């Protein structure tokens, strides 16, 4: 074999073969880790969809709620002065006389309730749009926007608020955006990189949203 590889010193051949074996082993491990990362990501997405569907089912009204909502509200009616009628009721065959003007409905209250309901239905909730640009800098964005190259960003900055975000430690995309979504630093949400060392081992696995230990703003808004 040494002659085939044109190596005159046998230990050198052993070293070369060892290096090749390590390279092949590392490549196979990287492929395995990538496949596991894809499976974990798909699982996290499936769990998120199931949780969202469960919350939607919990918010759906029950048949009893629908029946209660379909029943008209009772409106108080003023029957006028009934003092002339005996305590046991009117005699048989005699109907109590109620003047049309006394049997009336407080239409002012009903109309007011309708107006208030209409106003409540027409009221639109305030909407907030947050745009974050990873790795961007206003040193380039502002001149380009002023020159007309970024008209959409120029309009958004003119009509809204803007500012530079302080990054996390370490200043990486994964922990930075997780801190943005949770409001806590990496020491509390426990995401520091794209990978994390397996507990009790010297191997590494890719991190996912399931590894985050702090609730995100999206979760809190969904539960509100």
Q: Which residue has the higher pLDDT, 199 or 224?
A: 199
The stretch 147-172 carries a mean pLDDT of: 89
> Is the distance from CB of 156 to CB of 131 less than 8 angstroms?
yes
What is the spatial distance between Cα 150 and Cα 136, in angstroms, rounded to a whole number? 13
What pLDDT is attached to residue 101? 46
Q: Which of 224, 218, 214 is nearest to 179 (CA)?
A: 214
pLDDT tens per residue, range 22-77: 888 888 888 888 888 878 877 877 777 777 677 767 766 666 766 676 666 555 55
What pLDDT is attached to residue 103? 44
The stretch 197-224 carries a mean pLDDT of: 87
What pLDDT is attached to residue 119? 58
Q: Does residue 83 register a pLDDT over 80?
A: no
What pLDDT is attached to residue 149? 93
Domain residues of the chain, as ranges? 1-60
Radius of gyration of the chain (CA): 36
pLDDT tens per residue, range 113-152: 555 555 555 666 678 888 888 888 899 999 999 999 999 9
Provide the whole-model pTM. 0.43
Q: What is the percent of the chain with per-residue pLDDT over 90, rounded to a whole number?
A: 15
What pLDDT is attached to residue 105? 45
DSSP for the chain reads -TTTTT-SSHHHHHHHHHHHHHHHHHHHHHHHHHHHHHHHHHHHHHHHHHHHHHHHHHHSPPHHHHHHHHSPPP--EE----TTS-TT-SPTT-PPP--TTTSEE-HHHHHHHHHHHHHHHHPPPP-------TT--HHHHHHHHHTTS-HHHHHHHHHS---PPP--SS--HHHHHHHHHHSS-HHHH---SSEEEPTTSS-EEE--GGG--S--HHHHHHH-
What is the spatial distance between Cα 79 and Cα 96, in angstroms, rounded to a whole number? 10
Q: How wide is the angle at C-alpha 104 spanned by C-alphas 92 and 70, nearest 5°?
A: 95
pLDDT tens per residue, range 212-222: 999 999 888 88
What is the spatial distance between Cα 207 and Cα 193, in angstroms, rounded to a whole number? 8
> Is the distance from CB of 175 to CB of 192 less than 8 angstroms?
yes
Q: Does residue 184 register a pLDDT over 90?
A: yes
Q: Does residue 100 register a pLDDT over 80?
A: no
What pLDDT is attached to residue 123? 65
What pLDDT is attached to residue 25? 87
């Amino acid at each position: 074999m040494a002659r085939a590889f044109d190596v005159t010193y046998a230990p050198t051949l052993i070293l070369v073969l060892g290096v090749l074996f390590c390279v092949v082993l590392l490549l196979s491990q990287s492929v395995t880790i990538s496949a596991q990362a894809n499976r974990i990501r798909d699982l996290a997405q499936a769990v998120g969809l199931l949780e969202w569907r469960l919350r939607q089912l919990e918010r759906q009204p029950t048949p009893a709620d629908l029946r209660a909502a379909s029943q008209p509200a009772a409106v108080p009616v003023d029957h006028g002065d009934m003092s002339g009628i005996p305590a046991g009721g009117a005699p048989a065959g005699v109907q109590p006389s109620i003047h049309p003007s006394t049997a009336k409905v407080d239409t002012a209250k009903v109309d007011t309730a309708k107006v208030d309901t209409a106003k409540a239905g027409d009221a639109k909730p305030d909407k907030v749009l947050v745009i974050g640009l990873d790795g961007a800098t206003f040193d380039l964005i502002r001149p380009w926007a002023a020159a007309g190259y970024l008209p959409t960003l120029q309009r958004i900055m003119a009509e809204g608020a803007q500012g530079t975000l302080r990054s996390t430690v370490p200043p990486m995309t994964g922990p930075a955006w997780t801190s943005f979504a949770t409001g806590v630093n990496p020491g509390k949400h426990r995401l520091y990189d794209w990978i994390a060392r397996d507990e009790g081992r010297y191997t590494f696995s890719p991190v996912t949203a399931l590894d985050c230990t702090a609730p995100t703003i999206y979760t809190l808004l969904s539960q509100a």
